[in-house]
């Protein structure tokens, strides 16, 4: 029997949460005189990075937060970048520091991220934060994985006791999503699939939840799903399309049409996971300012 999946509206959930965050910001200002501040460092002029940084600044302003954008030329010495991070670590007006990735060639990305003080690492990318997440200590949860958990909950699915399959094992999406889903609070049983998995469909067909983060269109199709599954499509892929003004369109990693016939709920691309990432960044920045 064909099902018509509900679309999980990431824009709506993001708007709801941003309203909650804006109220939290206003309350913190009124009660403690603290305005949450986010510093965003952009090195070079990668167009995608420029647009992400602009979107982050706009979102900060809308939430009533203070944002400071620091732009640096692509040939800025690494030492200078590290000095800038050290100054922000010590700046009481700044509660969150984000270095927009990827950095241009020649930088040691790991060293740069490690320079961010863990208590201001609102992206949740430093090894200290990742380790704390793994052992269940207080930390900043990484934004995209945290947003994914919120989206599954928003779909109406009670995650506890369910079988979740995560396709992809990157440090920024797949691995942390698997960790978050298997924590006591969510209590899912998790299977991780990757390019070494022999028969992904054999796993996804038994899954109540499928999170696909492979960076490849059509990684997940409807015939790979159990009826009623919830699908979170993290992928963002550009497909050439001469009918579009920009000459391309965005698709996810799931074939939306066939998955929507079998799933009970699915995130669209765009408009699913994307809007949640910046929202959870604001969430962490507010959280950081509250800890002061």
**Which residues have a catalytic role annotated?**
56, 100, 123
Exposure class string for 262-272: b at 16+ Cβ within 10 A, else e: bbbbbbbbebb
Nearest approach, Cβ of 242 to ligand NAP (angstroms)? 22
Q: Which is nearer to ligand NAP, 56 or 162 (CB)?
A: 56
In the three-class reduction of DSSP (H, G, I as helix; E, B as strand; rest coil), residue 242 is classed as: coil
Residues of span 101-160 touching ligand NAP by CB under 6 A = 144
Q: Which two tokens stand for residue 141?
A: 């949860």
Residue nearest to ligand NAP (CB): 170
Total residues at the site for ligand NAP (CB under 6 A)?
A: 25
> Could you tell me which residues are beta bridge partners of residue 219?
none
Task: Give the binding range for ligand NAP (CB under 6 A) out of 39-47, 48-56, 187-195, 202-210.
Answer: 187-195
Number of H helices, E strands in the chain: 10, 11
**Is residue 279 part of the contact set for ligand NAP (CB under 6 A)?**
no
- Work out which of 85, 173, 211, 289 binds ligand NAP, going by CB under 6 A: 173
Task: Give the binding range for ligand NAP (CB under 6 A) out of 29-37, 86-94, 98-106, 228-236.
Answer: 228-236
**Is residue 217 part of the contact set for ligand NAP (CB under 6 A)?**
no
Site string for ligand NAP, 12-51 (x = CB under 6 A): ----------------------------------------
Nearest to 222 by CA among 256, 250, 191, 193: 256
Q: Helix, strand, coil shares of the chain as percentages rounded to 5?
A: 40, 15, 40
Q: In what order do the strands lie in the sheet with 189-193?
A: 6-7, 265-266, 230-233, 209-212, 163-167, 189-193
CA 103 to CA 245: how far, in whole Å?
29
Bridge-based pairing of strands 237-240 and 248-251 is antiparallel
- Work out which of 32, 111, 160, 194 binds ligand NAP, going by CB under 6 A: 194
- Work out which of 213, 231, 265, 266 binds ligand NAP, going by CB under 6 A: 213
Nearest to 280 by CA among 148, 147, 172, 185: 147
- Work out which of 104, 215, 217, 271 binds ligand NAP, going by CB under 6 A: 215
Nearest approach, Cβ of 236 to ligand NAP (angstroms)? 4
Q: Quick one: 48 exposed, middle or buried, by C-beta within 10 A (0-12, 13-18, 19+)?
A: exposed
Q: Which is nearer to ligand NAP, 124 or 174 (CB)?
A: 174
Q: Which is nearer to ligand NAP, 104 or 271 (CB)?
A: 271
Residue ranges in contact with ligand NAP by CB under 6 A = 144, 167-170, 172-174, 193-196, 200, 213-216, 219, 234-237, 273-274, 277
């Amino acid at each position: 029997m064909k099902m018509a999946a509900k679309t999980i509206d990431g824009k709506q959930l993001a708007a709801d949460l941003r309203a909650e965050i804006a109220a939290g910001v206003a309350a913190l200002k009124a009660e403690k005189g603290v305005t949450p501040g986010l510093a965003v460092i952009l090195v070079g002029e990668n167009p995608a990075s420029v647009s992400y940084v602009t979107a982050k600044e706009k979102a900060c302003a809308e939430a009533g937060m203070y944002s400071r954008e620091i732009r640096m030329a692509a040939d800025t010495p690494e030492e200078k970048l590290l000095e800038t991070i050290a100054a922000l670590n010590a700046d009481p007006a700044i509660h969150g520091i984000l270095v927009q990735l990827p950095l241009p060639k020649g930088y040691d990305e790991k060293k740069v991220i490690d320079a961010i003080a863990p208590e201001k690492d609102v992206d949740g990318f430093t090894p200290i934060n990742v380790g704390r997440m793994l052992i269940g200590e207080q930390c900043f949860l990484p934004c995209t994985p945290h947003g994914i958990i919120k989206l599954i909950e928003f779909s109406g699915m009670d995650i506890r006791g369910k079988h979740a399959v995560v396709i992809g094992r990157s440090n920024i999406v797949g691995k942390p999503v698997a960790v978050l889903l298997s924590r006591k609070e969510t209590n899912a049983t998790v299977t991780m699939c990757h390019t070494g998995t022999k028969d992904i469909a054999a796993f996804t067909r038994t899954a109540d939840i499928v999170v696909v983060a492979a960076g490849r269109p059509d990684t997940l199709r409807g015939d790979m799903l159990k009826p009623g599954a919830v699908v979170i499509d993290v992928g963002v892929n550009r497909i050439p399309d001469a009918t579009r003004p920009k000459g391309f369109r965005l698709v996810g990693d799931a074939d939306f049409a066939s998955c929507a016939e079998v799933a009970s709920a699915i995130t669209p691309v765009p408009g699913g996971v994307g809007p949640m990432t910046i929202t959870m960044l604001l969430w962490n920045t507010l959280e950081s300012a509250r800890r002061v």
